Amino acid sequence: MSIVVREMNFGSVSVVTKVHGKRNVPAGVLVSAVKPNRVSAIVRFVPIVSLSLLFGCTSFQPIAIETQHASYVLHYEEPTSCQTPNSIVLSSVVRVATGDGGDASGVVVSDGRVLTAAHVVVDAGMTLVRVNEEYRKASVMAIDQSSDLALLAVDTGYLTPVQLSHDDLNSYEEVWAIGFPLALDQVTTHGFFRNESQGRIFTSAPINAGASGGGLIRCLNGSFELAGLIRGYGAYRVGNELIPMRDLSIHTPAEQILSFVLAHDGTRL
C-alpha cells in the first residue's frame, strides 16, 4: 500500500490530500472516493497543531482556501421531535460500487435516480448500485466536480426517494450522516450543523472513508429531509502525523443538489 501526501502551506493552516490505492487500503472506501476539492473551514489555531482538511484517493490538484481566526462552538440542545432517521430513509441511502474496486454511498432522490459524490464515479468505469440486496448496473447521467455531485440512472425498485430540503439549516440544528463507511454495514452518526461557507456545509456528525455520497439528514417539522451530500472530513496535523477529526464533516448543500438535478435531469426535487 502506498500513501502519497500532498501539502500546501498557507500561514498556519495546511491543506492536505492523501492519495490511496483501492481495496487494499484499510481505511476502506476512501478507497473509492474522496478526491480533493476546494474546501473552507473556520477554526481556532492552536500552537503546534494546525488543522488540515483531509480527502483521499486518486490524484487531483488541491486548491488553497481562505480561513478566519474564529472557533466552532458547539451548543448541544435537546433533541427535536424526530429520533433517528426511520427505516424508509435508511433504505434509500444505498451502497455504490465501481469497476475500479471502489465502494461508497448514494441517496435515492427520485424514481430511478441516485445521487452520489462525483469523485466516486469519475474515471471509475462500471458503476453498480445495491438495491434490495442485489447490485444493479447504473449509468452516469451527469457529473459536476466543482460541487462534487454525480447523478446515476438505475432501477431503484420500490425505494422511496428522500425529500430534498428547501430551507437553510438553523444554527446548531441536529443532523444525521448516513453512509457505508469502510465498505461495511450502513452507519448513522449524529451531530449538529456548524456553519456553511463557500458552498459547503460543516457539521459535527462524524464520518469515515466510504461514506462519501451518503446523505446528510435533518428533521424539519417532524419529517426527515436531505440537507446535503457527504463529501469529506477534517484532520489535525501534529508533526508529520494526520489525526482524523471526529467532529468535522463536510457536505454539499441541498441548494446545489436542487440546481444540479434540475439542470441535468429536468426534475424539480
Question: Given pLDDT bands bounded at 50, 70 and 90, which one contains residue 237?
Answer: confident
Map 113-150 to HEC letters: EEEECHHHHCCCCCEEEEECCEEEEEEEEEEECCCCEE
pLDDT tens-digit map of 100-153: 888 999 999 999 999 999 999 998 889 999 998 999 999 999 999 999 999 999
User: Is 191 in contact with 84 (CB distance < 8 Å)?
Assistant: no
Query: What integer pLDDT is reported at residue 240 of this predicted model?
Result: 85
Query: What integer pLDDT is reported at residue 243 of this predicted model?
Result: 82
- Tell me which amino acid residue 114 is: V
Distances from the Cα of 19 to the Cα of 22, 39, 254, angstroms:
10, 17, 28
* Location of C-alpha cell 462500471: 126
* Residue 208: CB atoms within 10 Å: 22
Query: What integer pLDDT is reported at residue 34 of this predicted model?
Result: 36
Query: What integer pLDDT is reported at residue 74 of this predicted model?
Result: 40
Share of the chain above pLDDT 70, in %: 70
- Tell me which amino acid residue 14 is: S
The residues spanned by each domain of the chain are: 4-69
Query: What integer pLDDT is reported at residue 102 of this predicted model?
Result: 87
pLDDT tens-digit map of 146-184: 999 999 999 999 999 999 999 999 999 999 999 999 888
